[in-house]
């Protein structure tokens, strides 16, 4: 009898623990659908265009520029031992695998050759010592490798994937009894982006044409078998980057299967309580970064699914992932108090991102994003005929909007102030505008005030600047939106950007969240959205 009782308890335990996984029934199916949607990578063989040398220049981005010094034939035909160090320029940003050959030119190779390769997206990466390493991220993200070659006259491929334009080759060790050259340097570059057919209007300003081109390059490099946030560093799927990449993709490469894959990967790898992980990995098999949840990112999943459905009319996928939408809203609502104000003080405070700016108080921004996500989720519910399942969401959104005006808005100043310190920031105004809490006129007034207030907390990264431009367009500041796109992204172009950067402050070329600026990603997904604006709003940006 005791054994039967124990067996019953064991069965109840198994049932209870398995029942905790709210996606148990769908999880495997979602992951299978993600795998079926995995795109084919287009590969191309790219060779360096010339040899360059680093030149110190206080007017160049981060103090360095590259100057052409020789053609590739002059490198390939001259002993590497005579040069000791060279820098090859591939002419554009690439993501892929690097290979080369060593060729004996005198005597018989009697010992290995040791080379150091350093790959760089921008010139300063090759001119800033990596060690002793002061950064807060893993030193292993930096793109340098030491390779020992024992066999010659054969292709050597470094197994690690790189994201780069420049490669520096340094000779660390060789025998004095034979000589050799390096040759056939190349990169097998990859992307899942195809071609773009949309043309810009002839009257489009040259700088906007260039911003559009660099935006496309940025997105292309980040489109691998998932939307990567940065092909050099992190190299994984983050929800915040994904949302912006999917918007840009809709107006450029139209690789909808990649968006579908990423939606299903995030859903299939969600936590058992229904929350999405902020980021997930593909290899060695798909898995999340356990324990990493970002509340604002999770809510953007709902908006991403809505925009995907609008672009593709793929109702099957939208219905399939509808439970994920519901659970993100359900979980986020726990952080709002009886006044419908975001107030996590009584519970464990969630991680919020919004921008690379440690000074930003995110209370008002989170209030706005919650309303934004509720409104988008209600729109998706109507499109899926799910209104009755979530008919309270519209009412909740209205209560939150009213509470924001009552508790966070200062009518006498015309702005929203955030937190106990009553902070004035760009992001507070932006998310109140995007959520529809303000009228267009109120939004204009609020943005103009922060734009004219020197000590207002301003955006620290292209991610936040995207939403600032969205807010400007929503409240009819079209001229200002166009000028901001030219000033901000055009500023990177004028500083030599092949692809747009993870962080950029026109006032500080060395800005970094990682205490070491070479650790920054200089091809970063959330920076690609000018192409979205330029193509979606031709009347603003192509005139």
CATH number of domain containing 377: 1.50.10.10
Q: Is 44 among the domain residues? A: no
Calpha distance 351→358 (Å, rounded):
13
Reported pTM: 0.94
CB 249 within 8 A of CB 63: no
Shortest CA distance to 23 belongs to which of 263, 257, 301, 268? 268
Calpha distance 233→501 (Å, rounded):
12
One digit per residue, pLDDT tens: the chain, 543 residues?
A: 333 333 433 443 333 344 589 999 999 999 999 999 999 999 999 999 999 999 999 999 999 999 999 999 999 999 999 988 999 999 999 999 999 999 999 999 999 999 999 999 999 999 999 999 999 999 999 999 999 999 999 999 999 999 999 999 999 999 999 999 999 999 999 999 999 988 999 999 999 999 999 999 999 999 999 999 999 999 999 999 999 999 999 999 999 999 999 999 999 999 999 999 999 999 999 999 999 999 999 999 999 999 999 999 999 999 999 999 999 999 999 999 999 999 997 667 899 999 999 899 999 999 999 999 999 999 999 999 999 999 999 999 999 999 999 999 999 999 999 999 999 999 999 999 999 999 999 999 999 999 999 999 999 999 999 999 999 999 999 999 999 999 999 999 999 999 999 999 999 999 999 999 999 999 999 999 999 999 999 999 999
Shortest CA distance to 455 belongs to which of 416, 428, 424? 424
Half-sphere exposure of 522 (CA within 13 A, CB side): 31
Boundary-marking domain end, from 162, 189, 216: 189
Strands (E), 64-161: 64-70, 85-106, 113-120, 144-149, 156-157
Q: Which domain holds residue 270?
A: 206-342+361-541
The distance of Cα 499 from the centroid of its chain, to the nearest Å, equals 12
Query: Max alpha carbon distance in the chain (Å)?
Result: 88
Calpha distance 123→165 (Å, rounded):
9
Kindly state whether residues 263 and 410 are assigned to the same domain. yes
Go through the chain and tell me how many residues it has: 543
Strand partners of residue 287: 281
Tell me how many domains the chain contains. Answer: 2
Kindly state whether residues 309 and 441 are assigned to the same domain. yes
Q: Is 226 among the domain residues? A: yes
Calpha distance 287→279 (Å, rounded):
9
Total Cβ atoms within 10 A of residue 443: 24
Read off the DSSP letter of residue 344: G
Residues whose CB falls within 8 Å of the CB of residue 368, separated by 6 or more in sequence, listed in order: 404, 428, 430, 431, 432, 433, 434, 435, 437
Kindly state whether residues 122 and 261 are assigned to the same domain. no
Q: Peptide bond preceding 433: is omega within 30 degrees of 0, i.e. cis?
A: no
Calpha distance 233→163 (Å, rounded):
9
Q: Is 23 among the domain residues? A: no
Q: Is 62 among the domain residues? A: yes
Kindly state whether residues 290 and 161 are assigned to the same domain. no
Tokens 């620290």, residue located: 460
CATH number, domain at 97? 2.60.120.260
CB 334 within 8 A of CB 370: no
Calpha distance 401→375 (Å, rounded):
11
Q: What 3-state DSSP class applies to 380?
A: helix
- The dihedral of CA 496, 500, 506, 511: what is its sign? negative
């Amino acid at each position: 009898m005791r054994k039967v009782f124990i067996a019953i308890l064991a069965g109840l335990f198994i049932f209870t623990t398995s029942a905790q996984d709210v996606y148990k029934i769908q999880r495997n199916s979602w992951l299978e659908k993600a795998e079926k949607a995995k795109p084919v990578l287009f590969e191309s063989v790219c060779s360096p265009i010339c040899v360059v040398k680093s030149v110190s220049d206080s007017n160049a981005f981060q103090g360095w520029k590259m100057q052409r010094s020789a053609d590739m034939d002059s490198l390939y035909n001259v002993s590497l031992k005579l040069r000791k160090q060279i820098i090859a320029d591939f002419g554009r940003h690439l993501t892929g695998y690097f290979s080369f050959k060593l060729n004996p030119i005198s005597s018989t190779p009697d010992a290995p050759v040791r080379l150091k390769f350093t790959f760089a997206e921008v010139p300063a990466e090759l001119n800033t010592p990596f060690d002793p390493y002061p950064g807060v991220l893993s030193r292993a993200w930096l793109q340098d490798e030491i390779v020992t070659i024992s066999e010659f006259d054969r292709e050597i491929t470094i197994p690690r994937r790189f994201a780069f334009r420049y490669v520096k080759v340094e000779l660390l060790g060789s025998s004095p009894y034979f000589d050799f050259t390096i040759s056939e340097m190349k990169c097998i570059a990859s992307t899942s982006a195809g071609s773009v057919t949309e043309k810009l209007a002839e009257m489009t300003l040259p700088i906007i044409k260039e911003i559009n081109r660099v935006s496309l390059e940025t997105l292309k490099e980040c489109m691998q078998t998932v939307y990567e946030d940065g092909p050099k560093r992190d190299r994984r799927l983050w929800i915040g980057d994904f949302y912006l990449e999917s918007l840009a993709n809709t107006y450029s490469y139209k690789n909808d299967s990649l968006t579908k894959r990423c939606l299903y990967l995030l859903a299939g790898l969600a936590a058992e309580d229904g929350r999405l992980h902020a980021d997930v990995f593909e290899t060695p098999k798909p898995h999340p970064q356990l324990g990493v949840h970002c509340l604002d990112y999770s809510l953007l999943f709902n908006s991403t699914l809505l925009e995907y459905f609008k672009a593709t009319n793929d109702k099957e996928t939208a219905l399939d992932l509808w439970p994920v939408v519901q659970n993100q809203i359900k979980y986020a609502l726990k952080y709002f108090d009886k006044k419908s104000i975001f107030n996590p003080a009584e519970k464990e405070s969630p991680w919020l991102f919004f921008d690379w700016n440690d000074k930003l108080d995110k209370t008002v921004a989170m209030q706005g994003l919650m309303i934004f996500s509720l409104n988008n989720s209600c729109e998706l519910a109507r499109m899926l005929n799910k209104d009755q399942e979530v008919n309270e969401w519209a009412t909740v959104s209205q209560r939150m909007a009213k509470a924001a005006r009552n508790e966070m808005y200062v009518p006498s100043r015309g702005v929203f102030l955030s937190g106990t310190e009553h902070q004035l920031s760009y992001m507070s105004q932006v998310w109140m505008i995007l959520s529809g809490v303000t009228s267009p006129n109120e939004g204009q007034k609020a943005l103009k005030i922060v734009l004219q207030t020197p000590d207002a907390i301003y955006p620290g990264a292209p991610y936040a600047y995207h939403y600032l431009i969205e807010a400007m367009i929503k409240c009819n500041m079209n001229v200002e939106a166009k000028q901001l796109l030219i000033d901000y992204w055009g500023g990177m172009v004028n500083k030599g950007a092949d692809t747009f950067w993870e962080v950029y402050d026109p006032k500080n070329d060395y800005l970094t969240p990682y205490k070491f600026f070479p650790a920054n990603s200089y091809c970063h997904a959330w920076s690609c959205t000018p192409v979205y604006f330029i193509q979606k709003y031709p009347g603003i940006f192509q005139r």
